[in-house]
Structure 1
Amino acid sequence: MTATTEHTPTTGERASSRPARLSLAPDDAGPGLLDGAWWPYSHDLARELPAMIDVLDRRWGRITRIAVNPTLWPVIPRKVPVAGHVVHVGWFAAEQDPHKLLLLSYTAGRWDLLVIPPGTGEAAAARLMAAATEPRGHLTATALMANEEALSATEADRGGEAEWESEGGTVPSRPGNPARLPGSAQGM
C-alpha cells in the first residue's frame, strides 16, 4: 500500500509553491532500493524542495541534507530555507543515479526517492510512483525510468499500428506475390 501526500503550502512559503506530489512506501514495507517517488512540477530545485521537505519533515524527522545528480537540475542551490530551518544541498554527477534524490536526517536516517521528471504524463507518473513504493523493490531509479520508457515506446507503437490498421492496414496481396506498399521499389 502506498501513501500519496499532497501538501498545501503555508502562508510563509512562496505563493508560487504547489502541493508536493509524493508517493511514499509504508513504514513497514521492509528494505528496498527506494523509499518512494517525488514528481516535481519544474526543474527549479529551490522552488520545488520546500513543499516536499515540509511533508517529509513531519513524517520522517527534520531533513538536514539532500544530494542530487545535476542531470535533471540546471541550477543547484547550496542551501534551501524550509519552514524554520535550512537544508543543505549537494550534488554528485558520477556517483549518484540521475533519477534519484538522497535525503538525510541527522536524527532519523536516510531515504532515497525516485525523481520523476516534471514533464512526465500522469499515467506514466502514476505507474512510476507505484513501482517506486513496491515493498522490497529491487530496481534502481534509472531502471524504473528505463522500464517506463520501454513501456511508453511499446504503447506508442501499438497506437501507430491501430491507426495504420484503421486506415486500411497493408495493401492486400495476390497469392504468391508479397504485399507491397504503394510507391515501394520492386525487386528488392
Structure 2
Amino acid sequence: MAISSEVDMQTVAAHHVLPVRLALAGPEAVPRRIDGAWWPRTHDLRDELPSLLAALSARWGRITRVTVDAAQWLAGPGRLAVAGRVVHIKRSAAAADRGRVCLLSYGVGRCDLVVVPPHTPAEEAARLMAEHA
C-alpha cells in the first residue's frame, strides 16, 4: 500500500464533527500500558482524528504523531492537517499495534488507546470501553 507524502490540507470545518466516543483511565490511575478506549464511527482517519485530538488536547497537549493499526483504517495520507498543525500518521502492521492507536505528544508522552471497531454493537462497545477506562 503506497502512502502519500503530501499533507492532506482538508479542513475540519468541511466535516460534520460528532462528539468523540472515548473512555480514559483517570489521571490518578497508576501508569498502565493502555490509557483508555476509543470507539470511532468510521474507518476514515480524516473524519475521526480531529475530534479525538480535540478531546485529548487538555490532558495530552499537542499530539504530533499517531500510529494506527493499518488493517483498521482506510488508506490515506501520511500527514494530516488538524487544527492548524501537521500530525504525522504511521500505519503499522505490527502485532503490537493491532486494535490500538498510539498518540505521541512532545513533552507530555504517549497515550495508547484500544480502538473499538466502528460497527461494534453498542452494548459490547460500552463493555469494552469500560474495561479500559
Structure 1 length-normalised TM? 0.61
Where do 1:114-153 residues align within 5 Å? 114-133=114-133
| 8 Å CA contact retained: 1:81, 1:87 | yes
Question: Residue 47 of structure 2 corresponds to which residue in structure 1?
Answer: 47
The normalised TM-score by structure 2 is 0.85
Q: 1:18 maps to which residue? A: 18
Unmatched 5+ stretches in structure 1: 1-11, 134-188
**Partner residue, 1:4:** none
Aligned with 1:33: secondary structure?
Answer: coil
- SS for the counterpart of 1:18 is coil
Residue type matched to 1:130 in 2? A
Indicate the percent of aligned positions where both proteins have the same amino acid.
Answer: 47
Contact preservation (8 Å) 2:15, 2:47: no
Q: Which runs of 5+ in 2 are unaligned?
A: 1-11
- The answer to whether the 8 A contact 1:69-1:92 is kept is yes
CA separation in 2, counterparts of 1:86 and 1:48? 15
* 1:33 to 2:33 alignment: yes
- Show the counterpart of 1:78: 78
Q: Distance in 1 between matches of 2:45 and 2:128?
A: 20
Contact 1:49 1:80 in 2 (8 A): no
CA distance in 2, matches of 1:15, 1:110: 27
One-letter identity of the residue aligned with 1:51: S
Q: Distance in 2 between matches of 1:51 and 1:98?
A: 21
Q: CA RMSD in A?
A: 1.6
What letter corresponds to residue 99 of structure 1 in structure 2? G
Asked if the contact 1:69/1:96 (under 8 Å) is kept, the reply is: no
Matched-pair contact (CA < 8 Å) for 2:101–2:112: yes
Distance between the aligned counterparts of 1:25 and 1:32, measured in 2? 9
Deviations for 1:61-115, whole angstroms, at most 9, x for unmatched residues?
1101000111111213211221121111012212533100001011100110000
- Partner of residue 97, structure 2: 97
Q: Supply the distance in 2 between the matched residues of 1:94 and 1:87 (Cα, whole angstroms).
A: 21
